[in-house]
Amino acid sequence: MDMKIVPTTCPYCGTGCGLNLVVKDGKVVSVAAWQRHPVNEGKLCPKGRYAHEFIHRPDRLTKPLIKKDGKFVEATWDEAYDLVAKKLKSFKPEEVMCLSSARVSNEENYLMQKFARTVIKTPHVDHCARLCHASTVVGLAGAFGSGAMTNDIGGIAESKCIFVLGSNTVEQHPLIGRKIVQAKQKGAKVICFDPRFTPTARLADLYASFYSGTDVALLNGLMQHIIKNGWEAKDYIATRTKDFEKVKAVVMKPEYSLDNVSRITGIAVKDLETAAEWFAKSPASCLCYSMGITQHTTGVDNVKSVANLLMLTGNVGKIGGGVNALRGQNNVQGACDMGALPNVYSGYQNVTLEPSQTKMKEAWGCEIAPGKVGYTVTDAINVLCDSPPKLKAIYIMGENPMVSDPDLHHVEKALKNLEFLVVQDIFLTETAQLADVVLPASCFAEKDGTQTSTERRVQRFRKAVNPPGDAKVDWQIICELAAKMGCAKQFPFKSAEEIFNEVAKVTPSYAGMSYARIEKPEALHWPCPTPEHPGTPVLHTQKFSHPDGLGVFTPIEFKPPAEVPDAEYPFILTTGRCIWQWHTGSMTRRSSSLEREEPESWLEINTEDAKALGIQNREVVRAITRRGEVKVAARVTPDIKRNEVFMPFHYAECAANTLTNNALDPTAKIPEFKACAVRVEKIKEA
Ligand code: SF4
């Protein structure tokens, strides 16, 4: 019997827990927590515990597929590459888009954006951060000069007041939730405001439910109360920030009195007063947020308001403080860092600035895409519905927009308008089924690479087993396709480490990193600018990342969601995840231990609302929005605010995103998944 243990990193959420894969006779048979990993310290949540179960599924893609007469036919790699190369070359560069992925490695994200910009020469490259934390990247970069989580995960346990807003941390980032528990055990106060009484809310010393999409009003109200009482950090504001007076002028308006904010949000005045006092007076307060803040047409406003509160109270740049923007997927931070975005090269180097363009041209040794901002994922879906469509072909690596994107009828129409679609994935996902060519790729256990967790920790994952059949690793597929298209010189890589070395050369925040330096589980947090630099767990300790070193306050007025309830659609629909499933379910729904826990979708509705509609628990009801309808089992519970309903988005056969609104934040272009108007109907018997 051949057995080995391979240390690696969890492929699910952005916490970045360390795993040991147990390999027996060439198969991963189990997962054990990595005892000495500094984040999870020998613990795992259910998803991590069962992360091996999808790896050897019989429905893994093992051969390239080419669609002929509407049916997929197995092909050789040469046949698939020849067809993809010929088709991609047949379009103008700006008619082609590349979609990268938060689920693959840094090296693969780096190569995908390099492929777009050097081989196709298109500016159109993006990935699913557009759907989760695009608002964070824009909002925190505006406030602090760096669009990432300011502190490390370990520091949450040192906080004295943790405000959880727009995050169900205990279910979605369970090993970060454990740090909240540890802080509480050391005396920290926990505040949680959420429309649902989640497992995270159960931890809170102060919980209040509130209406989705009212975060700016809430935060402005808290700031008004803090300023009125003189609790703001006056020295910090004077020495480390600018434009405070502009924010003060807005938040002190009568609109943001606690009485008015209570009316807008549904939170009692006394709870608002308590939250403001606890947060302002604690010696170290942090705020943990996730997509409840970002997935709004006011996503950037929400993030900037969070930044305002943290600067007002002097909590940015210290242990136990900080804006803890909890990134969703395992490598969504890294995919952004690697420049799989339409406006920046790796390390957030602006594509529109001549020095950045010249630097990349010289590093890559060829002409590159014009220095202009390309389409986002959400732009792409819209321009595909133009007549004639402005895009003709998309190359998708590891994304599943046919379940993950808002308003799925619109997405399907858009993808069907493409002349050519290539999907590179490990399973025949709902999106891959629409493709002209499918390229079989490898999962986390079948390749080497790095990923960057939510706390900016760049850590390794390691190959444990071979990919199934003829499947290949994503970086190898990109290199071989680039060679077929005449760009072998730019893609000479023989290992993931060689790619990482190029990343370090062209990316200032990764410049001091190497595989040797991140071999241990502690790894390194970026920025790490030199080989001697120890990495940076806490950002902005002495100065912010703007050229003048100052944090920037931004005045923000409250705006309601794009679609609010009315007589026809009287409820607010909000969407999210559960602990057992992951995003579009392509991996977790193929993991039997996870799938058996939550195999079906549901619609959570308040007990009183259900009673008024005559709906019983588990009764199948109809949920209808202006975009579509689904039949779904009701889950009747007092744990959700009245007039608000919730659906998880993991289930393709009952897709919550059939209902959601594709209205976008004007800057970050993130859709408003967290609030749209919906009607819930009892299904009448025939
Ligand atoms: Fe994996 Fe996240 Fe669970 Fe850790 S908390 S085991 S990274 S899913």
382 Cα: distance to centroid of ligand 1 (angstroms): 34
Residue nearest to atom 2 of ligand 1 (CA): 13
Q: Does the beta carbon of 537 lie inside 6 Å of ligand 1?
A: no
- Any idea what DSSP says for residue 117? I
Strand 189-193, strand 206-208: pairing: parallel
Does the pLDDT of residue 501 top 80, yes or no?
yes
Give the pLDDT confidence score for residue 27 in this predicted structure: 96
pLDDT tens digits along 642-663: 999 999 999 999 999 999 999 9
In CATH terms, the fold of domain 3-49 is N-terminal domain of TfIIb (2.20.25)
Task: Kindly give the number of the ligand 1 atom that is closest to the alpha carbon of 40.
Answer: 4
Query: What is the ipTM, given to two decimal places?
Result: 1.00
Does the C-beta of 12 come closer than 6 Å to ligand 1?
Answer: yes
Nearest CA to ligand 1 atom 4: 17
Sign of torsion, CA 102 107 109 110? positive
Amino acid 347: pLDDT: 96
**How far, in Å, from the CA of 47 to the mean position of ligand 1?**
6
Q: Sorting pLDDT into bands at 50, 70 and 90, what band is 323?
A: very high
Residue-averaged pLDDT of the chain:
96
- What is the atom index within ligand 1 of the atom nearest the CA of 16? 7
192 lines ligand 1 (CB under 6 A): no
List, in sequence order, every residue forming a beta bridge with 169; answer none if it has no partner.
none
Q: According to CATH, what is the number of the domain 65-130+330-525? A: 3.40.50.740
- Check residue 684 and give its pLDDT: 78
Ligand 1 centroid to Cα of residue 171, in Å, is 10
With a 6 A CB cut-off, is 173 part of the ligand 1 pocket?
A: yes
Separation of 121 CA from ligand 1 center, angstroms?
Answer: 37
Same topology between domain 65-130+330-525 and domain 571-682: no
Compute the average pLDDT of residues 583-610.
96
Residue 440: phi and psi, rounded to 5, are -75, 125
CA dihedral over 608, 655, 212, 571, signed as positive or negative? negative
Average pLDDT over every residue of 586-591: 94
Does 591 score more than 70 pLDDT?
yes
- Going by C-alpha positions, the residue among 490, 182, 465 that lies closest to residue 366 is 490
- Per-residue exposure over 63-72, b if at least 16 CB sit within 10 Å of its own CB, e if not: bbbbeeeeeb
The response to whether residue 581 sits with its C-beta less than 6 Å from ligand 1 reads: no
Distance CA 228, CA 84 (A): 63
Show Cβ contacts of residue 163 under 8 Å, excluding neighbours closer than 6 positions.
Answer: 191, 192, 275, 279, 285, 286, 287, 288
Q: Does 685 have pLDDT greater than 90?
A: no
Q: Is 31 in the pocket of ligand 1 (CB under 6 A)?
A: no
Give 11 Cα–ligand 1 centroid separation in angstroms.
8
Q: Looking at ligand 1, which atom is closest to the CA of residue 33?
A: 6
175 lines ligand 1 (CB under 6 A): yes
Give the pLDDT score at 686.
Answer: 60
By alpha-carbon position, which residue is closest to atom 1 of ligand 1? 48
Two tokens at 671? 């859709």
Here the tokens at position 637 are 């519970």
| Residues forming a β-bridge with 33 | 19
Mean pLDDT over residues 494-511, rounded? 98
Is residue 127 within 8 A of residue 101, CB to CB? The reply is: yes
Fold of 150-324: Dimethylsulfoxide Reductase; domain 2 (3.40.228)
Atom of ligand 1 nearest to the CA of 9: 7
Cα end-to-end span (Å), the chain = 61
> Which amino acid residue places its CA nearest to atom 3 of ligand 1?
45
pLDDT number for residue 133: 86
Our answer on whether the CB atom of 160 is closer than 6 Å to any ligand 1 atom is: no
DSSP 281: H
Contact call for residues 492 and 475 (beta carbons, < 8 A): no
Q: What is the pLDDT of residues 28-72, one digit of tens each?
A: 999 999 999 999 999 999 999 999 999 999 999 999 999 999 999
Please compute Rg for the chain using Cα positions: 24
Phi, psi of 461 (to 5 degrees): -120, 155
Rounded to whole angstroms, the Cα distance separating 673 from 575 reads 6
Is the CB of residue 213 below 6 angstroms from any atom belonging to ligand 1? no
Mutation to probe ligand 1, out of 8, 15, 21 (largest number of atoms < 8 A from CB): 15
Q: Is the C-beta atom of 9 inside 6 A of ligand 1?
A: no
> Is the beta carbon of 527 within 6 A of some atom in ligand 1?
no
Question: Residue 446 has what DSSP assignment?
Answer: G
User: What's the pLDDT band for 124 if we cut at 50, 70, 90?
Assistant: very high
- Cα 616–Cα 577–Cα 597 angle in degrees, nearest 5: 65
- CB of 129 within 6 A of ligand 1: the answer is no
Any atom of ligand 1 within 6 Å of the Cβ of 49: no
Query: Which residue among 19, 31, 35, 40 is best mutated to probe the pocket of ligand 1, counting the most ligand atoms within 8 A of its Cβ?
Result: 40
DSSP state for residue 448 in the 8-state scheme: -
Do 306 and 289 contact (CB within 8 A), yes or no? yes
Residue 241: CB atoms within 10 Å: 22
List of E strands, 364-512: 393-397, 420-425, 437-440, 449-452, 457-461
* Number of neighbouring beta carbons within 10 Å of residue 129: 28
User: Quick check: 585 pLDDT over 70?
Assistant: yes
Is 70 exceeded by the pLDDT of residue 455?
yes
Percent pLDDT > 90 in the chain is 97
Residue 453, ligand 1, Cβ within 6 A: no
- Ligand 1 atom closest to Cα of residue 46: 3
For residue 97 and ligand 1, the question of a CB distance below 6 A is answered with no
State the CATH class of domain 571-682: mainly beta
Task: For residue range 191-232, list pLDDT tens digits in order.
Answer: 999 999 999 999 999 999 999 899 999 999 999 999 999 999
Token pair for 217: 């009003």
- Which residues are bridge partners to 304 per DSSP? none
CA 399 from chain centre, in angstroms, equals 12
DSSP-derived 3-state class of residue 192 = strand
For the CA atoms of 517, 522, 526, 528, what is the dihedral angle to 10 degrees?
Answer: -40
Tell which one of 37, 175, 179, 581 to mutate to probe ligand 1, the residue whose CB is within 8 A of the most ligand atoms: 175
Residue 429 CA from chain centroid, whole number: 19
**CA distance linking residue 2 with residue 454, whole number of Å:** 35
Question: Ligand 1, atom 6: nearest CA belongs to which residue?
Answer: 48
Half-sphere exposure of 533 (CA within 13 A, CB side): 18
Question: What is the per-residue pLDDT for 99?
Answer: 97
* Contact between residue 114 and residue 490 where contact means Cβ atoms under 8 Å apart: yes
- Quote the CA–CA distance of 231 and 476 in Å, as a whole number: 56
Model pLDDT, residue 639? 96
- Phi, psi dihedral angles at 640 (to 5 degrees): -135, 145
Evaluate: CB of 15 within 6 angstroms of ligand 1.
yes
Q: Is 40 in the pocket of ligand 1 (CB under 6 A)?
A: yes
pLDDT value at 75 more than 70: yes
CB-neighbour burial class of residue 555 (10 A; exposed 0-12, middle 13-18, buried 19+): middle
If you measure from the C-alpha of residue 52 to the centroid of ligand 1, how many angstroms do you get, rounded to a whole number? 13
Counting ligand 1 atoms within 8 A of each CB, the residue from 45, 153, 168 with the most, and so the one to mutate, is 45
Domain ranges of the chain: 3-49, 65-130+330-525, 150-324, 571-682
48 lines ligand 1 (CB under 6 A): yes
Given a contact cutoff of 8 angstroms between Cβ atoms, the answer to whether 456 and 148 are in contact is: yes
